[in-house]
């Protein structure tokens, strides 16, 4: 499972970046969404609209890319899973910067585990760890 996390997080980053691009395109078409309003109430509504737009965009992108999403998640290609696309849409609307930091965290954990494994078998952390041939056990 730990080996799959960077792949899943990379998928979420890609969905998030695509969601951000869609929101930016829509903001350029609707100038009222692109310009901050000095009135706090109207600014609050504008920001809420942007968040809603990001969620809707994230769900739409997750739905549109379902064949790739299902493959990354290890599912058979089939009908779109609404709950999964809703969850991915919500996660994607969080922003790519957030997901990039999480990916870095999990890659660091994976690197630490790899170094730990090499240390256990007596190899320096930067040396190649030989893989056993199929059907052989490592002693």
Task: Give the tens place of pLDDT for each residue, 55-111.
Answer: 999 999 999 998 888 888 877 767 888 888 898 888 888 775 566 677 677 777 888
- pTM comes to 0.64
Cβ partners under 8 Å of residue 16, min gap 6: 58, 91, 92, 93, 94, 95, 96, 98, 99
At 99 the pLDDT is 60
120-123-126-129 Cα dihedral, nearest 10 degrees: -80
> Domain spans of the chain?
5-120
Q: pLDDT digit string (tens) for 112-130? A: 888 888 778 877 766 555 5
């Amino acid at each position: 499972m730990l080996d799959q996390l960077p792949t899943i997080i990379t998928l979420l980053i890609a969905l998030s970046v695509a969601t951000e691009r869609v929101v930016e395109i829509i903001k350029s078409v609707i100038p009222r969404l692109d310009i901050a309003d000095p009135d706090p109430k109207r600014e609050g509504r504008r920001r809420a609209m942007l968040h809603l737009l990001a969620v809707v965009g994230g769900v739409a992108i997750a739905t549109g890319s379902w064949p790739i999403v299902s493959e990354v998640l290890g599912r058979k290609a089939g009908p779109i899973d609404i709950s999964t696309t809703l969850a991915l849409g919500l996660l994607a609307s969080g922003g790519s910067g957030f997901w990039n930091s999480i990916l870095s965290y999990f890659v660091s954990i994976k690197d630490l585990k790899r170094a730990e494994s090499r240390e256990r078998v007596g190899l320096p952390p930067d040396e190649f760890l030989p893989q056993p041939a199929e059907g052989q056990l490592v002693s």
